[in-house]
Amino acid sequence: MKKAPFIVLLVLTFLLEAILCYTLYHKISFVEQDPVEINRCRMSVTDNFGNEAAYDRTLDYVVLDADGQVLFRTKEGLAENISAAVRNSDTILPIEKNGAKLGTILFRNTVTDKINAYKKQIIGVLIVCSFVQIALVVSYFIYLKKRITDPFQRLSEFAVRVAGGNLDVPLELDRKHVFGDFTEAFDLMRSELKKARAAEKKAIDDKKELVAKLSHDIKTPVASIKSTSEIGYEVTKEDKTKEFFNLINVKSDQITVLVENLFNSSVQDITEISVNPVEYDSAVVEELIRNSDYLKKAGDFKIPSCRVFIDKLRLQQVFDNLFMNSYKYADTEITVEADIQSEYLVITITDKGSGVPEQELPLLKEKYKRGSNTSDKDGAGLGLFLTDYFISNMDGKMVMENAQPGFSVSLYIRLL
- Same domain, yes or no: 262 and 284: no
Most confident segment among 184-193, 215-224, 229-238, 277-286 = 277-286
- Same domain, yes or no: 282 and 243: no
Distance CA 91, CA 14 (A): 40
Domain of 80? 35-109
Tell me, what CATH number does 221's domain have? 1.10.287
pLDDT for res 1: 46
Distance CA 230, CA 149 (A): 75
- Same domain, yes or no: 294 and 365: yes
Read off the pLDDT band of 414 (50, 70, 90).
Answer: very high
**Last residue in a domain, options 51, 74, 109:** 109
Distance CA 350, CA 326 (A): 8
pLDDT for res 200: 77
Name the helix (H) or strand (E) containing 399: strand 397-402
- Same domain, yes or no: 283 and 401: yes
Tens digits of residue pLDDT in 62-103: 999 888 898 999 988 888 898 888 888 888 899 888 888 889
pLDDT for res 263: 55
- Same domain, yes or no: 261 and 301: no
- Same domain, yes or no: 409 and 282: yes
**Last residue in a domain, options 81, 109, 137:** 109
Closest CA to 300 of 325, 337, 326, 331: 337
**Among 128-132, 227-231, 267-271, whose mean pLDDT is lowest?**
267-271
Phi-psi region of 99 (alpha: psi -120 to 50; beta: other; left: phi over 0): left
Query: In the predicted model, what is the mean pLDDT of residues 121-148?
Result: 83
pLDDT for res 223: 66
pLDDT tops 70 at residue 399: yes
- Same domain, yes or no: 365 and 261: no
- Same domain, yes or no: 238 and 282: no
Tens digits of residue pLDDT in 302-348: 999 999 999 998 899 899 889 988 888 888 999 999 999 999 999 99
Question: Per the domain annotation, does 316 fall within a domain?
Answer: yes
**DSSP conformation letters of 147-181:** IIIHHHHHHHHHHHHHHTT--SSPPPP-TTSTTHH
Question: Per the domain annotation, does 1 fall within a domain?
Answer: no
Question: Per the domain annotation, does 168 fall within a domain?
Answer: no
Tell me, what CATH number does 73's domain have? 3.30.450.20
Question: Per the domain annotation, does 123 fall within a domain?
Answer: no
Question: Per the domain annotation, does 67 fall within a domain?
Answer: yes
- Same domain, yes or no: 290 and 399: yes
Q: Is the C-alpha dihedral spanning 158, 162, 166, 171 positive or negative?
A: positive
Question: Per the domain annotation, does 404 fall within a domain?
Answer: yes
Tens digits of residue pLDDT in 172-222: 656 555 556 666 666 677 777 778 777 777 777 666 656 655 664 476 577
Question: Per the domain annotation, does 206 fall within a domain?
Answer: yes
- Same domain, yes or no: 283 and 262: no
Phi-psi region of 85 (alpha: psi -120 to 50; beta: other; left: phi over 0): alpha
Amino acid at 255: I
pLDDT for res 364: 85
Name the helix (H) or strand (E) containing 348: strand 344-350
Closest CA to 413 of 364, 328, 343: 343
Q: How many CB atoms lie within 10 A of CB 11?
A: 10
Mean pLDDT of the chain: 81
Distance CA 339, CA 346 (A): 6
Helix ranges restricted to H, 29-94: 35-47, 82-87
- Residue 36 β-bridge partners: none
Report in angstroms the alpha-carbon separations of 169 from 29, 174, 189, 260: 70, 16, 12, 37
The number of distinct structural domains making up the chain is 3
pLDDT for res 264: 58
Q: Is 370 exposed, middle or buried (0-12, 13-18, 19+ CB in 10 A)?
A: buried
- Same domain, yes or no: 247 and 303: no
pLDDT tops 50 at residue 54: yes
Read off the pLDDT band of 225 (50, 70, 90).
Answer: confident
Q: Is the C-alpha dihedral spanning 115, 116, 122, 125 positive or negative?
A: negative
